[in-house]
Amino acid sequence: MGLGSASGTIETSSLMKEFLRQVGGAAVVDGGLATELERHGADLNDPLWSAKCLLTSPHLIRQVHLDYLEAGADIIITASYQATIQGFLSKGFSREEGETLLRRSVEIACEARDNYYQRCAECSSRETGDGRILKQRPILVAASVGSYGAYLADGSEYSGDYGDSITLETLKDFHQRRVQVLAESGADLIAFETIPNKLEAQAYAEILEEEEIKIPAWFSFNSKDGVNVVSGDSILNCASIAESCKKVVAVGINCTPPRFIRGLILSIKKVSTKPIIIYPNSGESYDPEQKEWVQNTGVSDEDFVSYVDRWCELGASLVGGCCRTTPNTIKAIYRTLSNRSAAAAAALLP
């Protein structure tokens, strides 16, 4: 039940809008992957980060995907954010092995979706006694592409400062084959996540168009001031790149504190008519030197979810969580969006 199968011959620009119509107007995106993998016992102290589990414990990735589906997620994002061919080469893998691991990230997510549909078929109720949501619905698998800074694993995805030696062509060369492999792996769309600067957004847009990538994509930027992306580039300029690329079907913000989202949605709406995707982090601060999150700097699930109605009223139509959010966060978002859909439906009754 992907974008293509759900919508037949509908042109790329309409695919996301058709999906949103099918799920009631607003879609739930999943939450943090790495935090949940660690909770299940994974050791992610590695430059590959959550991609390490593609090698060591794919069953844990599958379980986390399933946890999010049972929390109500309509879109699950693959464990490929930090999975790059160059990163796997530096670990001693061949190029072919690296490409196989990229494909595996999509296969694992698709397996989780299949397992979920099987559970739905076996259950007569939409919600189980333990709170699991088992509801037949369109579910998308989004293949994650992290930034060049994520590959460097030095925190530069949170600054967007790659230095003067990194050009548009450097970034296109870095990402090109990875995007091609993921696009041909069975995913419904590509999630270009935590984009820290305008240059990388331009590189992605050119790859999508020049390489004739067959599946759509979303662009999601990160901000630390609510006005610009983390590099200091204007969110207006960055969102304009997404707006002008026909293969991009949604644009938004991830891995950004919830308190900044309102202003960023308003800015994106000034330059884009595409669906807006919002999946902030918990609001906690990340220490790139210690490579850990600073405790007690975020917001509670209750506070996080209290923002959701406001974001949707402003125009967000895809909402989830990023770092340090959990299936509990996503379940609360699911309930909030379900209540909004029910209220909207009731308002249409004579």
Does position 11 have pLDDT exceeding 80, yes or no?
no
Residue 58 lies inside a defined structural domain of this protein: yes
Q: Does 120 count as an annotated binding residue?
A: no
- What are the strands, taking DSSP E only, across the chain? 27-28, 75-77, 140-145, 189-195, 217-221, 248-254, 276-279, 285-287, 292-294, 316-319
Residue 8 lies inside a defined structural domain of this protein: no
pLDDT of 165 reads 93
Q: Taking residues 77-102, report their average pLDDT.
A: 94
**What is the band of 66 on the pLDDT scale with cuts at 50, 70, 90?**
very high
Does position 47 have pLDDT exceeding 80, yes or no?
no
Residue 326 lies inside a defined structural domain of this protein: yes
Q: Which two tokens stand for residue 72?
A: 């109500």
Q: What percent of the chain has pLDDT over 70?
A: 89
pLDDT of 126 reads 76
Residue 200 lies inside a defined structural domain of this protein: yes
Q: Which residues 6+ apart lie within 8 Å of 334 measured at CB? A: 28, 71, 72, 73, 133
Q: Does 323 count as an annotated binding residue?
A: yes
Supply the DSSP string of 158-224, one letter for each residue. Answer: GT----TT--HHHHHHHHHHHHHHHHTTT-SEEEEEEE-SHHHHHHHHHHHHHTT-SS-EEEEE--S
Residue 1 lies inside a defined structural domain of this protein: no
Residue 5 lies inside a defined structural domain of this protein: no
**What is the band of 27 on the pLDDT scale with cuts at 50, 70, 90?**
very high
Contact 25, 261 (CB under 8 A): no
Cα–Cα distance for residue pair 219/215, rounded to 1 Å? 13
Does position 50 have pLDDT exceeding 80, yes or no?
no
**What is the band of 195 on the pLDDT scale with cuts at 50, 70, 90?**
very high
Instruction: Tell me the pLDDT tens digit for each residue of 278-322.
Output: 999 987 665 555 556 555 555 777 888 889 999 999 999 999 999
Does position 242 have pLDDT exceeding 60, yes or no?
yes
Q: Taking residues 244-265, report their average pLDDT.
A: 96
Amino acid identity for residue 171 in this structure: L
CATH number at residue 155: 3.20.20.330
46 is in which domain, residue-wise?
Answer: 25-282+301-348
H helix or E strand, kind and range, residue 152: helix 148-152
Residue 11 lies inside a defined structural domain of this protein: no
Q: Which residues 6+ apart lie within 8 Å of 71 measured at CB? A: 30, 31, 132, 133, 327, 328, 330, 331, 334
pLDDT of 5 reads 41
Residue 196 burial (CB count, 10 A):
29
Q: Does 123 count as an annotated binding residue?
A: no
Does position 141 have pLDDT exceeding 50, yes or no?
yes
> What are the CB-based long-range contacts (under 8 Å, 24+) for 344-349?
344/25
Cα–Cα distance for residue pair 40/31, rounded to 1 Å? 15
Q: Taking residues 334-346, report their average pLDDT.
A: 82
Does position 335 have pLDDT exceeding 80, yes or no?
yes
Contact 18, 7 (CB under 8 A): yes
Does position 2 have pLDDT exceeding 80, yes or no?
no
Number of domains composing the chain: 1
Residue 78 lies inside a defined structural domain of this protein: yes
